[in-house]
Every structure is written in structure tokens, then in C-alpha cells.
């Protein structure tokens, strides 16, 4: 038997079965026929289908003597050998058949049965095809019944017909795939057929087939795709096996469906930025082994994947595994993965080696045992260039940076771009004692102006240096990380400098990297929770809203302060996912509270980070949060700090105007602590000015602070902004701020941020003292005395 | 267990000149040891013009022992079959009879055309039950099931086989095999062939008792104290690239690689001009150019029986699954004869230590087409050589049945050998 014939044996078998079951006349015993076909296809002797603890179809036994107990035992895995009259001992293969209750298909073949992994896959495929066929039949039956019951139930009918049509499409796509394999099309055409098939089956615009690199199972390669931008393709070409939804499908070995991509399981930042809204991924198997995943995704909002679509993707992925199974394809496939890997070893922008390649080279050098050193170079303020001058200029800059670094080292030293604005140099010719000199030479090269099309750009670079006189103790990854740590120290010391690594630097980083790992887990495990700090309007004497504040309840560390984990979330991009979750959760929770108090609805303020503002999805996320929660837009306030705005004021203005158009309110947070540019305060469409607690804290100290606070409040008023005073901790502070015309407050004087249940109780209180708006002296104010206000705080804490 | 003695079989001289043999010599039949019931197998053939004479003559030759249990008749329908049957049955009135029409017969003495071959089984060591079923009435699958139920009548025997003769022109024969398999399971092997009509492809006959039937399935369940052996081999190999069966409907192949199947077939093979238009010429041509469809570990051969010039499709003797791959197959003297050897040794090996009493051969008409007269002579000689002194009987079929290991058991363009011990 030639290779080409075994090649497509299983795909062919599956197509034949599919063809058989979809052409069987109505009323035919589909299960019996499928079992029969299965036994014949596998050259088996006996076969059976089990449902609900009974043998519902069997082949190969005399009609009168079907050994029910033996078959049930085989189905349960209690026995792996069937004793068959006339055929002797038969090896057993069992697979689940989901369309039957407790369904199993059992196949027996004379010993030595020697079921190959391809056959196991195929058998699983058969069970799936049978399930599809049974469900299609049920759907048809239902459709008939429905049509009989009510002629006008058009929608349900349409859905059912759609389901039936989809099966037909599946059949056609499988046949097309089959054809491309059997007619020995070049591999890339086969892979394209897989992608085209999935695209046409599911109808989403993005489809990708990722396969695990057999030489490096940690990494997966995108071997075929459609609907991806060139940039996304570059990024996805070779990526960690576990990344994204496709990675989940691989690790779980099961279908993963995410209809809310950015808030869901394991979203890829690139895909979020690209606007992917929903995605599904199914594992691709060879034999028992998951070798990759087939992913479909859409940028359309509100996509819902029907059960039929989910099943079809799984069936098609299953089929894909079989298709890729044969020897010829496997060989070509490995080659393709290797090629893609080789290609993936270079950074497409600068054509320098990438991180993977760099680490490999570093590993080799370590293996040689000669002294070496590593420079880790990170451009200073590159983001600013990118944001202000645009990506094309940013890209051009990176290219020239690569050239300048290369020009500053010796011929056999290796310069790599690790990603973003990070470069690394492996000095294997340069003696270690010259490493710092080299770093300095590079620094100087990079501080020269860059003449880019239409722009002269000045940047700098921070460099971490690791010198390794006797390589061997540390791995390549560890050395590079050390260089990274040293680079961070350099940044911390004020940019534009080089710092030599010292072991003590590691400790900080480790803590941070643990934090990063834990934070990722925390997002998946919902350890991040919102606490709500009441905002009171003393002119009406009640809680009018809250500020939602993120808290992380770490299983070991307890409550982690936001100041510790928010920067990590920002750096890793997790903030995007977290930010969106916060928006939705806060809106949903507030809407829930408001359902019980229709006359006095609460507002909720949510903080927005710079990353969220620049990722382009904020408006969409806010809209989603409002839709999901049903919270009226004016009740949602977005708080932005000055630092968030200054990066790109034009972009910020654009987004804020869009947000205003949604009807939400915008608050400027921490005003007066940073740049405090009056021009943008006037220019941007803010509704609320929050007086920072830094002003409030100073109030106790004297008149100057009080005047400053008064000036800020007056400024707010003159711009017709509402004023909310933050950080009120004492009655005295309250008295002063009330004295200058403020009535809306938040602070520990009443309550710290508290969990939702506690907040609900606070918000229900109606016995808060009202401020006398005109009151001037503390004594005249109905403000709690120091003793009394601690009581009030206690009261509010309850 | 004592072995069979040699020389218990009847055989006939005068192979080359076609002369009739002497009367059967039963004196050299040796009684089996007490553990195994006495069994004998005989074969006879005749080509004389008169149906009655031919039947009588062949039957007499075949009856080489006492207590005949089963007569299996393979006869050209050039004979008046009712008369032929009557003459045969008059020689052994107590024996069950099954049989069918042919496109050429196989006997120990060689292959014949327009002749008759009778195989007889007898002795206390055999038990036999027969059945018939009408395909039009029951459907293919149920007809297979119906005849298979007779296997229950010979359960007392330690070894059983179901000999099945059917009408290959009556639809997908795989269904008959499935129907039978559903009843007897793996326990009873199925073996046999589809009746012929001297290649006219119009109507075949099945014989049961004294009746001549059409569109039927006939079976004999044979129980024996000794094993049966089955060998199957086709001897064809693939030519050229695979084609995808892009559309088929049961036995009808509509398109190959999305092109009308007939056009692809004729073009690929460079078929002679007359095969493009003349149905008979096409069938003759197609005989030696079957299609191959792939199975798990080998390929199955599908005989192309007719061309439908109107719809540009091919009609085969068994199902060609849509979505599967198909190849054009070719064979030559050498490969076909190699298959003969393989099928015979397969059947004989399966007997283990038992010596064969007789061999049934169900040989596809297409193989005959490849071999030609000279080749056929050599083939039958080979079969006889394998059989040593055991008698041989069989016919050229429109499809062969052999289900002995694993499910599925309808074959095309294949030689199926049943060795009886």
C-alpha cells in the first residue's frame, strides 16, 4: 500500500461515514448503520453502541447471542478484550458518543488488534460524526413537529433549518479538505484548505491554525491564517504554546468559547487591540496528543456561537488532525514548522535576531564556557516618539537604533531586538572588562540625533550590563533577566545610563515577577474585587454615589495594595482586561443597588488608566458596560488623572469627547498635583473636579494650604465644574472645605472603601447630618466633634 | 486426531481431450477415525449439449460417496436449467441442491464455457441446510439475513460455513453480506459468489432444489466435523494517481474529480473507440479495468459493469463511496496468477493439519478477461496443483463473497477459494 493511500485513509473514512449517515433515509437505524460502517472501515470483527447502559446496536454477533454484559464492561473500560465466537479474542477500542445518553462506541478487532494512534483519532472522529448525524436528525424531527405545532414559529424554524444547512456545509468542507490532501496538493494549500474550511463553516473573519513546534513544545507556530493584519500575523507567527484562547484549547484539550473576548479567558492584547470581540478555539489532535489548535475569531460585536457552530469547529478540528496525520503531510508539516521557526528567529522589522534566537545563541556561548557579557538596552521615552510621531516613525527609529548598536560592537558580537524598544547585545568577542566601555559607546551612538523622514528625534537609552567571567552556573534566561534587572535600575537612577548588575538586584525582580504571575492568576480566579468608597453630599444628607476601587485579595499575601499591583498590571497590559472588568462590575453593581432605590440613584466613579485610554477600546468598553448593566450613562463617572492625559492631549480630547457623547460624566482626578495645566482643564469636557487629598491633608497645617484649596475650588467653580473633595479624615478638614463652599465629600471620616455588602448598608442610611451651607465656624457646623465623628465613622463602618 | 487418508476423493482423467471419466471409484474412500464423521467431496463437469445429459453426467462424476448431503451446481444458462436440475436431482434425490448460472465454469479438469459443474458433499460428518430469499420482496439486506438464519440448523457441527449464491445484478451485494453478518456474526464465515449470464449482464439465475429463481439469494449452511479454510486475493494493482469520488450514489459513480466519471475513466485508460459508444464493447473493456477503492490495509476492487452513456456515469457491482478515493487498477497474467496461488494457499493454510477434501473457487469473470483462454487453463491447473488430489469446482462470477476475518466481505475482481476438509 503506497504512502499516499494510507495518507488519506482516515480522512477518507470519515468522509465516507459522514456521507453515509447524511444520506441514510429517514427512519433508518443510523446508529446500527454507523456501527456497521465503523466495524467494516476498521477491519474490525465486532462493534456496538451503548446508550443508557444498554446495547442499542451491535455488529458481529449472532443476532440471538449478543453478550450484553461483556460489551457493557468493555464500554466502561472494565475489560479490554472481548471474546468473540468465530473471531476469538478481540482488542477493544472505546469512545464516547455524546449524542447518546452515556453513549459509547465499542470496536473489537482480533488480536493482535494493534490500534494505531491514527485509528484512535479516526474512531473518535466517527463518534463525533455519528453524534452530528443523530443531532441533525433530531433537529429535523423537531422541525417537523414544530411546523406541525405552529406554522408561524418562524424564528425557531429558521434556526433549525440553519442547523441542517450547516451540517451540509460541514460535509462539503470536509470533502474539500479531503480533496486537497488526496490530490497531493502542496502542504500550504492543504493548510489553507483547513483555514478556508473553518472560515466558511463558522463565518468569522479571522481563522488561524496553530501547531506546536515538535522541537520546542513550549512554542506554537501559526501555519495558516486568514483575516489577520500583517502585524498580528508577525506577532502570532511564533508564540508561547499556552498563549491566548488557542493555548487554552491546547492545554484543556477541549473547545474553548469566548463571546466576550477582552473580558474573557486569556485574551491576547494584540487581538484586543485589533478589536477581536469573540473567539472559539478547538484542539487539533494527532492520535491522543494535542498538536495544535484551530481558532476562529470575529471583530463583530455581540457574536454568539451556536451549539451547532461549536460542534462543527470541533468536528472540523478533529478532521484536520486526521488530515495532517499521514506521513507525507507530517514530514512536510515539520518542515513548515521548522521554516516558520527559522523565519520566526528574526525580528521582521530590524531583521536582527529576536529573543528566541538570542537566547539560543547565548545558550551556545554559555556551553562553550568562554567569558561573555550581555547588554540589555531599553530606549528612554520611546513610547513618546511612537505616540506623538506615529508608528511608522517609531519603526524607522527602531531600525536605525538596531543599525547603530550593530555598528558599535565587534563583528561576532550578537545584536538582537527582544521586542518593543528592547535590544540586547551578546558580547562574545569583546573581553568582559570592556563591556561597560561598549555600553558607553552604544549610549553615545544612541544619543546622536536621529534624522528620520520629516523629524529629528532625540532619545536616550538605559542599559543593564551583566558580566559573566565563568559561564555555566546561570542559564541564558537567567543572565538575560539579570541584564534586564540592571537596566531597570539604570532607569530608576534617571535614564540614559548603564548599570552593572549585582545579585542583590535580583530579589526585587523576583518579587515582582511572582506578583506578575499571581496577578495573571488573580484575573482568572476573580481574586480582584471592587470596594466602594461612599461619596456623600452633605447638602442633602446622604450617600449619593461611590468610587469603585480595585482590591486584590491575594490567597497568601492578603489584601495587596493597589500601588503595588497596578503598575505591574500596567506594564503587562493586564490593566486592559482588568480595567474593562472593573467598568462592567461597577456598573452592574450600581445598577443593582439602584433597582432598590429608584428615586435616589447612586452614581459610581471608575478610574481609567493611561493604557486604557491609549488602547483605543475604552469607548467601546464603556458602551458595553452601560449596555450590560443598564446603568443610565449620567450615573457613571470616569476619573482620569492628569498624568493619563498629558501623553497625547489631542488623542485624549478626542476620546473624552466620544465618551461625553455616550452621556457619562468625566472627572479630573488629583488635580493640582502634577502639571496642572489650566488650558487643558478648560479645553477638555470635564464635569467634575476632584480636590486631591494632598490639599486636604495640608489643611490642618495652616492658612497657605487652606488658601490653595480654596483657589482650586474657586477654579473649579469658575469652570462650572462640580467639586468632590477627597481624603477627608477629620472633622476639621470637613469644616474648612465646607466653609469654602464644598458639599460633596469622600474620606475615611465616614468610611474607607468597603465591600459591596457593607456599602449597601451605608448607602441606605438617611441619618447623616446636613451641612449648613453658609456656616463659617466649626462650632456652628453640624459636623461631628472629634469624639462624635469617630462614632459617626463607626456608625458608617457597620 | 487421526488424519485423513489420501485417495478418498474422486478425480477424473481425460482432462485435455474432454473425454468423460470413468464411473466414480468409491472403493478408495477411506473411513475417518471415529472422532470425525465420514465426509467426502466430489466434482464433476460436462459440456454436452443436452441439458439432461450434461446434468446427469456431471452429477454422476461428483457422487463419489454414500449419503450425499449437498449438490452445488454451476451451470451456463445456455442450458435449459429446469431440465438440467431435474436430471441432476434424479441422481441424488435425497441431497439438497443449490446453484446458479455462470459466465464460465471451473472444474478439476479445467475451465469450461457453456458447461455445467457439480460439486457434491456427503457423509455423516457433514450436515446441510439450505434457504432462499427474494431480493425484490425483502430487500437486499433482509434477504441476506433471511438466508443466513439457516445457519442455526447446523449448530450441532463444530465447524460451519454459509455458502451464498446471489444475483449480482440485483443491487449492492455488500448489503446482502451485512444482512447475513447481522444474523450469524463472526461465528459463521460467509463465502460464495454472484451468478453470471455469460457476460450478457441481463439476467442471472439462482438454483434451489428443482427451481430456477432470479433476483434471489440462495444459501447452504454447511456444518462439518472438520474446519473450512477461506482464501481471498485479487492480484490487481493501482495505475496512476488517485481520483476523488466526488459524487456517487450507491453502486453508481457519477463524477470523479468533479468530472463525469465515464469521461474520466475512458480518457485515463485510452479506451478503444467502440467502448465509447457500444455498451457490450464497454463491458468487455471494463472487465479488465476495475476501480480500486481504499480499505484500511489494502484496496478493494470494484468491477465496472456498465457505462451509462446518457448520464456519463459508471455502474459498478458494489458501492463506491462518495468522498473516498478511487484508482484505476490493472492486472496481468503474472499478478493474477500470483493471486491465484495466494488465495489457494490462504485457504489451505487455514485448514491447519487437515487435508483438503475439495476446493470451491469463485473467480471473477474479469480475471478471466485478463488471463485469456491460455491463462485460464494455467490458472485452473494451478488451483488443481494446490488442491493436490482434491476435486475442484467453481465458476466465473460477477462478484465474490468471502467474510471470514473482520467485517465486510463482498469482493470484486477477486478469487475466493473455500477449502473443505
Looking at per-residue confidence, does B54 or A714 come out higher?
Answer: B54
Contact between A180 and A186 under an 8 Å Cβ cutoff? The reply is no
Most confident of A521-535, A648-662, B153-167: B153-167
Looking at residue A20, what is its pLDDT? 74
Cβ separation A60–B295 shorter than 8 A: no
Half-sphere exposure of B50 (CA within 13 A, CB side): 7
Say what the pLDDT of residue A393 is: 85
State the pLDDT at residue B421: 93
Q: Is the pLDDT of residue B411 over 80?
A: yes
User: Would the pLDDT of A254 be above 50?
Assistant: yes
A198 CB burial (10 A radius; 0-12, 13-18, 19+):
buried
Place A595 in a pLDDT band, splitting at 50, 70 and 90: very high
Chain B residue with Cα closest to A23: B249
Q: List, in order, residues 6 or more apart from A351 with CB less than 8 Å away.
A: A402
The string of pLDDT tens digits covering residues A674-697 is: 555 666 677 788 899 998 887 888
Using only C-alpha atoms, chain B has a radius of gyration, in whole angstroms, of 20
**Residue A280: alpha-carbon gap to chain centroid:** 13
HSE of A260, CA atoms in CB hemisphere, 13 A: 11
The C-alpha atoms of residue A270 and residue A274 are separated, in whole angstroms, by: 6
Average confidence (pLDDT) over B251-278: 91
Residue A766 or residue A540, greater confidence: A540
Residue from the list B183, B297, B408 with its beta carbon closest to the beta carbon of A63: B183
The rounded distance, in Å, linking the Cα atoms of A479 and A464 is: 11
Nearest to B406 among A4, A45, A62 (CB): A45
> Among partner residues B178, B241, B407, which is closest to A45 by beta-carbon distance?
B407
Please tell me which residue, B27 or A755, carries the higher pLDDT value. Answer: A755
> What average pLDDT score do residues A86-93 get?
90
- Average the pLDDT over A410-418 and give the result: 88
The ipTM (two decimal places) reads 0.76
Which of A358-362, A481-485, A489-493, A586-590 bottoms out in mean pLDDT, i.e. has the lowest? A489-493
State the DSSP string of A232-296: HHHHHSEEETT-HHHHHHHHHTS-EEESSGGGSSS--HHHHHHT--EEEEEEEEETTEEEEEEEE
From chain B, the residues in CB contact with A62 under 8 A are: 151, 183-185, 187-188
Check pLDDT > 60 for residue A207: yes
**Chain B partners of A67 at a C-beta cutoff of 8 Å?**
none
Predicted pLDDT at A566? 85
Q: How many CA atoms does the CB half-sphere of B179 hold within 13 Å?
A: 23
Work out the average pLDDT over B133-142. 94
* Mean pLDDT of the region B25-42: 58
Q: Flag whether pLDDT at B231 surpasses 90.
A: yes
Q: Give the model's confidence band at B76: pLDDT under 50 very low, under 70 low, under 90 confident, else very high.
A: very high
Mean pLDDT computed over every residue of chain A = 80
Q: Has residue A778 got a pLDDT over 90?
A: no
* Paired residues of A83 in beta bridges: A89
**How confident is the model at residue B169, as a pLDDT?**
87
Cβ–Cβ < 8 Å for A201, A235: no
Query: For position B81, what pLDDT does the model report?
Result: 96
Query: Using one digit for the tens of pLDDT, what is the confidence trace for A261-312?
Result: 878 777 777 787 778 889 999 998 876 788 899 999 999 888 888 877 887 7
Average pLDDT over residues B139-149: 95
Q: Sign of the C-alpha dihedral, residues A42, A47, A53, A56? A: positive
Q: What residues of A are in contact with residue B183 (Cβ under 8 Å)? A: 62-63
Asked whether the predicted pLDDT for residue B84 surpasses 60, the reply is yes
Nearest CA in chain B to A35: B407
- DSSP-based three-state secondary structure for A413: coil
pLDDT at B23: 36
Show residues of chain A in contact with B238, CB under 8 Å: 2, 5
Q: What is the reported pTM?
A: 0.53
Pairing of strands A450-452, A455-457: antiparallel
Q: What are phi and psi of A535, to 5 degrees?
A: -115, 125
Helix (H) or strand (E) holding A122: helix A117-149
pLDDT band at A725 (very low <50, low <70, confident <90, very high): very high
| B407 in A contact zone (CB under 8 Å) | yes
If you average pLDDT over every residue of chain B, what do you get?
Answer: 86
Amino acid at each position: 500500500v503506497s504512502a499516499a493511500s494510507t495518507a488519506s485513509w482516515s480522512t477518507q473514512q470519515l468522509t465516507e461515514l459522514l456521507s453515509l449517515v447524511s444520506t441514510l433515509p429517514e427512519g433508518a437505524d443510523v446508529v446500527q448503520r454507523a456501527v456497521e460502517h465503523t466495524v467494516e472501515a476498521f477491519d474490525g470483527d465486532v462493534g456496538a453502541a451503548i446508550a443508557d447502559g444498554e446495547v442499542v446496536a451491535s455488529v458481529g454477533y449472532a443476532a440471538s447471542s449478543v453478550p450484553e454484559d461483556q460489551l457493557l464492561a468493555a464500554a466502561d473500560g472494565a475489560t479490554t478484550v472481548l471474546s468473540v465466537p468465530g473471531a476469538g479474542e478481540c482488542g477493544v477500542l472505546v469512545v464516547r458518543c455524546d449524542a447518546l445518553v452515556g453513549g459509547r462506541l465499542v470496536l473489537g478487532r482480533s488480536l493482535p488488534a494493534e490500534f494505531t494512534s491514527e485509528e484512535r483519532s479516526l474512531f473518535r472522529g466517527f463518534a463525533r460524526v455519528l453524534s452530528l448525524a443523530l443531532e441533525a436528525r433530531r433537529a429535523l424531527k423537531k422541525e417537523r413537529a414544530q411546523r406541525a405545532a405552529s406554522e408561524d414559529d418562524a424564528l425557531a424554524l429558521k434556526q433549525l433549518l440553519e442547523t441542517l444547512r450547516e451540517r451540509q456545509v460541514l460535509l462539503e468542507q470536509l470533502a474539500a479538505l479531503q480533496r486537497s490532501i488526496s490530490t497531493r496538493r502542496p502542504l500550504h494549500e492543504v493548510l489553507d484548505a483547513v483555514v478556508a474550511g473553518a472560515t466558511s463553516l463558522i463565518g468569522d473573519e479571522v481563522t488561524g491554525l496553530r501547531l506546536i513546534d515538535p522541537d520546542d513544545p513550549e512554542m506554537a507556530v501559526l501555519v495558516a491564517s486568514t483575516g489577520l493584519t500583517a502585524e498580528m500575523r508577525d506577532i502570532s507567527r511564533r508564540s508561547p504554546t499556552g498563549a491566548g484562547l488557542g493555548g487554552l484549547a491546547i492545554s484543556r484539550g477541549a473547545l474553548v468559547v469566548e463571546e466576550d473576548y477582552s473580558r474573557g479567558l486569556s485574551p491576547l492584547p494584540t487581538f484586543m487591540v485589533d478589536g477581536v470581540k469573540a473567539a472559539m478555539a478547538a484542539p487539533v489532535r494527532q492520535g491522543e496528543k494535542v498538536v495544535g489548535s484551530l481558532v476562529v475569531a470575529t471583530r463583530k460585536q455581540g457574536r454568539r456561537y451556536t451549539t451547532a457552530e461549536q460542534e462543527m469547529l470541533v468536528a472540523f478540528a478533529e478532521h484536520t488532525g486526521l488530515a495532517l496525520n499521514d506521513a507525507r503531510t507530517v514530514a512536510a508539516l515539520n518542515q513548515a514548522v521548522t521554516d516558520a521557526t527559522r523565519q520566526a528567529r528574526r525580528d521582521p522589522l530590524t531583521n536582527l535576531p529576536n529573543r528566541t534566537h538570542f537566547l539560543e545563541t547565548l545558550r551556545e556561548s554559555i556551553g562553550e564556557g568562554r567569558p561573555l557579557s550581555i547588554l540589555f538596552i531599553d530606549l528612554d521615552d520611546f513610547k513618546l516618539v511612537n505616540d506623538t510621531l506615529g508608528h511608522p516613525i517609531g519603526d524607522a527609529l527602531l531600525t536605525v537604533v538596531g543599525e547603530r548598536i550593530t555598528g558599535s560592537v565587534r563583528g561576532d558580537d550578537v545584536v538582537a531586538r527582544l521586542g518593543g524598544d528592547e535590544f540586547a547585545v551578546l558580547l562574545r568577542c569583546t573581553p568582559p572588562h570592556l563591556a561597560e566601555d561598549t555600553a558607553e559607546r552604544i549610549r553615545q551612538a544612541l544619543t546622536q540625533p536621529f534624522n528620520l523622514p520629516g523629524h529629528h528625534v532625540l532619545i536616550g537609552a538605559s542599559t543593564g550590563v551583566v558580566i559573566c567571567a565563568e559561564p555555566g552556573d546561570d542559564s541564558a534566561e537567567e543572565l538575560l533577566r539579570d541584564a534586564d534587572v540592571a537596566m531597570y535600575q539604570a532607569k530608576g537612577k534617571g535614564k540614559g545610563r548603564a548599570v552593572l548588575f549585582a545579585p542583590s538586584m535580583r530579589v526585587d525582580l523576583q518579587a515582582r515577577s511572582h506578583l506578575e504571575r499571581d496577578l495573571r492568576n488573580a484575573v482568572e480566579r476573580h481574586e480582584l474585587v471592587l470596594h466602594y468608597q461612599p461619596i456623600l453630599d452633605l447638602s442633602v444628607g446622604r450617600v449619593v454615589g461611590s468610587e469603585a476601587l480595585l482590591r486584590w485579595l491575594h490567597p497568601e499575601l492578603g489584601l495587596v495594595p493597589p500601588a503595588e499591583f497596578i503598575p505591574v498590571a500596567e506594564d503587562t497590559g493586564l490593566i486592559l482586561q482588568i480595567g474593562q472588568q472593573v467598568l462592567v462590575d461597577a456598573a452592574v453593581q450600581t445598577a443593582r443597588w439602584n433597582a432598590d432605590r429608584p428615586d435616589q440613584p447612586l452614581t459610581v466613579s471608575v478610574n481609567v488608566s493611561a493604557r486604557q485610554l491609549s488602547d483605543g477600546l475604552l469607548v467601546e468598553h464603556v458602551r458595553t458596560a452601560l449596555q450590560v448593566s443598564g446603568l443610565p450613562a449620567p450615573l457613571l463617572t470616569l476619573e482620569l488623572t492628569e498624568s493619563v492625559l498629558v501623553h497625547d492631549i489631542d488623542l485624549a480630547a478626542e476620546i473624552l469627547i466620544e465618551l461625553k457623547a455616550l452621556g457619562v460624566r468625566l472627572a479630573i482626578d488629583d488635580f493640582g498635583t502634577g502639571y496642572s495645566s489650566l488650558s487643558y482643564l478648560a479645553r477638555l469636557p470635564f464635569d467634575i473636579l476632584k480636590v486631591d487629598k494632598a490639599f486636604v491633608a495640608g489643611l490642618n497645617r495652616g492658612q497657605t494650604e487652606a488658601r490653595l484649596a480654596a483657589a482650586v475650588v474657586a477654579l473649579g467653580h469658575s469652570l462650572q465644574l462640580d467639586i468632590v473633595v477627597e481624603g477627608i479624615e477629620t472633622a476639621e478638614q470637613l469644616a474648612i472645605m465646607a466653609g469654602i463652599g464644598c458639599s460633596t465629600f469622600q474620606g475615611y471620616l465616614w468610611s474607607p472603601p468597603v465591600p459591596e455588602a457593607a456599602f449597601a448598608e451605608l448607602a441606605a442610611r438617611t441619618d447623616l447630618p446636613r451641612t449648613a451651607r453658609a456656616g463659617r465656624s466649626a462650632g456652628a457646623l453640624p459636623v461631628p466633634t472629634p469624639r462624635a465623628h469617630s462614632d459617626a465613622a463607626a456608625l458608617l463602618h457597620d | 486426531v487421526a488424519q485423513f487418508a489420501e485417495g478418498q476423493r474422486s478425480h477424473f482423467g481425460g482432462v485435455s481431450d474432454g473425454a468423460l471419466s470413468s464411473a466414480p471409484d468409491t472403493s478408495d474412500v477411506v473411513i475417518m477415525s471415529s472422532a470425525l464423521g465420514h465426509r467426502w467431496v466430489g466434482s464433476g463437469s460436462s459440456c454436452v449439449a443436452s441439458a439432461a445429459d450434461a446434468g446427469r453426467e456431471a452429477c454422476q462424476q461428483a457422487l463419489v460417496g454414500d449419503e450425499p448431503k449437498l449438490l452445488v451446481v454451476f451451470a451456463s444458462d445456455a442450458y435449459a436449467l429446469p431440465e438440467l436440475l431435474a436430471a441432476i436431482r434424479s441422481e441424488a434425490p435425497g441431497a439438497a441442491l443449490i446453484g446458479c448460472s455462470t459466465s464460465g465454469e471451473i472444474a478439476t479438469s479445467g475451465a469450461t464455457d457453456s458447461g455445467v459443474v457439480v460439486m457434491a458433499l456427503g457423509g455423516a460428518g457433514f450436515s446441510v441446510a439450505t434457504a432462499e430469499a427474494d431480493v425484490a420482496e425483502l430487500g437486499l439486506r433482509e434477504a441476506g439475513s433471511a438466508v443466513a438464519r439457516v445457519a442455526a440448523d447446523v449448530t450441532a457441527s463444530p465447524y460451519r460455513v454459509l455458502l451464498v449464491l446471489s444475483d449480482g445484478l440485483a443491487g449492492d451485494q455488500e448489503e446482502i453480506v451485512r444482512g447475513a453478518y447481522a444474523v450469524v456474526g463472526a461465528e459463521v464465515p460467509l463465502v460464495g459468489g454472484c451468478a453470471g449470464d455469460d457476460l450478457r449482464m441481463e439476467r442471472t439465475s439462482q438454483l434451489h432444489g428443482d427451481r430456477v429463481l432470479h433476483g434471489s439469494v440462495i444459501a447452504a449452511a454447511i456444518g462439518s466435523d472438520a474446519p473450512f479454510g477461506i482464501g481471498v486475493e485479487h492480484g490487481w494493482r493501482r495505475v496512476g494517481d488517485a481520483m476523488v469520488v466526488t459524487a456517487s450514489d450507491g453502486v453508481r459513480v457519477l463524477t470523479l474529480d468533479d468530472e463525469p466519471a465515464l469521461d474520466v475513466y475512458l480518457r485515463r485508460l485510452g479506451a478503444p473507440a467502440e467502448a465509447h459508444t457500444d455498451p457490450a464493447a464497454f463491458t468487455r473493456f471494463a472487465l479488465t479495468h476495475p476501480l480500486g477503492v481504499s480499505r484500511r490495509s489494502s484496496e478493494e476492487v470494484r468491477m465496472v459493469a456498465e457505462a451509462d452513456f446518457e448520464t456519463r456515469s459508471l455502474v459498478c457491482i458494489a458501492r463506491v463511496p462518495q468522498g473516498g478515493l478511487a484508482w484505476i487498477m490493472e492486472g496481468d497474467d503474472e499478478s493474477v496468477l500470483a493471486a491465484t496461488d495466494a488465495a489457494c494457499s490462504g485457504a489451505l493454510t487455514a485448514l491447519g493439519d487437515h487435508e483438503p477434501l475439495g476446493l470451491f473457487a469463485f473467480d471473477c469473470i474479469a480475471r478471466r478477461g485478463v488471463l485469456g483462454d491460455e491463462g485460464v487453463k494455467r490458472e485452473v491447473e494451478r488451483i488443481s496443483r494446490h488442491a493436490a488430489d482434491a476435486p475442484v469446482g467453481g465458476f466465473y462470477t460477477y462478484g465474490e463473497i468471502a467474510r471470514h476475518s473482520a467485517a465486510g466481505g463482498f469482493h470484486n475482481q477477486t478469487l475466493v477459494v473455500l477449502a473443505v476438509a
